[in-house]
Amino acid sequence: MKILFVVNNFYALGNGLSASARRTVAALKEAGMDVRVLSGHNHEAETPQPDYVLTDYRVPIFDRLIQSHGYKFAKRMNPIIEEAVQWADVVHLEEPFRLQNRTAEIAKKHGKVLTATYHLHPENLFCSVHLGGWKLLNNSCLRLWRDAVYNYCSDIQCPTRGVLERCEAFHFKARLHQISNGLMPDTFLSDEQPSPSDDRPVQIACIGRLAVEKDQPTLLKAMRYSKHTDKIKLFFAGRGPEHDHLVALADKLYKEGVLKYPAEFKFETREELRHLAAASDIYVHCARVEVEGLSALEALQQGVVPVVAEGPLTATTQFVLDDRSLFKVGDPRDLAAKLDYWIEHPKERREMALKYVESTEKYSMAKSVDALIKMYETAINTK
């Protein structure tokens, strides 16, 4: 089976969509599929490059903001798209943008099978300009994506139940398949697990892009309500446009004496993130908008108890095993109360951490790839 992945920026670092696409392509190749990529140039290194390379497209006015999220768009270059599409049995769209719209039109012209993954909500984009709460704008955008891209497809991968239900509510025409983006197999670093001690801080990790919709300020605000800030050490792993703002907020807490230990900010490799999670006591996920949240799963795989925001677009809550690890989205008081509970109950925290390690097994990449291949076969057989 020849599968063409279409993504604007396949090699972007620090961008969850691109990272997921790279993992999926690698896993499909390991499963024996013939996979090629149509994408913009790899700016992170000279090699590798996409099989079909497109020139960068700079979005007027918003280009700097887009690049601050570790992202770039690619130009719609018809001859290259034509060549890529004609090679494929299945054309798989990773985004709902202009490149995918043009690719879908060309694929339809050649009678090719089209599938897609729903990777982001409109709110993921509009939160960056503080319009994430404007329902009319976001709903209109989703209808545009539906008509311009998704309705060309016969089958769509929905990473979570919440995504599938939203697509149903917006009357997507395609068959909808609930398939996780998949968790890569990793060794549980049990030898790095923290042990209860009065002479070391409680390490709290917050992993992910530093962006408005990820809502890291709620964690910092929660420090003003926690009873145990003299014990807490915060680690923020990621990069993005909100970096300077978050550093300023954290520095203020430290200078005022709210935090005994200064917060640390660092962009880390996947291997470094594994060790950070394994060495942490609690993992916090504050995002207001999240299609799945694989960074949370990767942390849980290393035996750390999560505290996750719960709201209408926070799909990461599906990984949580009980209410002790849920807080109301955007509510620092509720978050502080949940953090205090886990700080005050180290034995329960350790027991639950091991249960979270076991819970990640059902999201394995192997299972996701098997389901994806079945989805592609269904699309081909019902063409």
* pLDDT beyond 90 at 186: no
Supply the pLDDT for residue 253: 98
* pLDDT beyond 70 at 50: yes
Angle of CA points 7, 12, 18, to nearest 5° = 45
* pLDDT beyond 80 at 201: yes
pLDDT-derived band at 128, boundaries 50, 70, 90: confident
Mean per-residue pLDDT, 265-284? 93
Is 162:310 a contact under the CB 8 Å cutoff? no
How far, in Å, CA of 90 to CA of 5, rounded? 9
Supply the pLDDT for residue 341: 98
DSSP secondary structure code for residue 128 in this structure: G
Give per-residue pLDDT as tens, 66-109.
777 667 899 999 999 999 999 999 999 999 999 999 999 999 99
Is 226:336 a contact under the CB 8 Å cutoff? yes
Supply the pLDDT for residue 98: 96
pLDDT-derived band at 196, boundaries 50, 70, 90: low
Going 11 to 14 to 19 to 21, the CA torsion angle's sign is: negative
State the chain's mean pLDDT as an integer: 94
pLDDT top residue among 194 and 185: 185
* Token code pair at residue 108: 């339809």
* pLDDT beyond 80 at 195: no
Domains belonging to the chain, first-starting first, are 2-182+364-381 (3.40.50.2000), 190-362 (3.40.50.2000)
> How many percent of the chain have pLDDT more than 90?
84
pLDDT-derived band at 5, boundaries 50, 70, 90: very high
pLDDT-derived band at 256, boundaries 50, 70, 90: very high
- Ranking 191-200, 230-239, 250-259, 336-345 by mean pLDDT, the lowest is 191-200
User: Could you tell me the pTM of the whole model?
Assistant: 0.92
pLDDT top residue among 42 and 63: 42
Is 1:29 a contact under the CB 8 Å cutoff? no
According to DSSP, the residues that pair with 36 across neighbouring strands are 4
Supply the pLDDT for residue 189: 78
pLDDT top residue among 369 and 64: 369
Supply the pLDDT for residue 72: 86
Supply the pLDDT for residue 242: 95
What is the number of other CB atoms lying within 10 angstroms of the CB of residue 323? 9
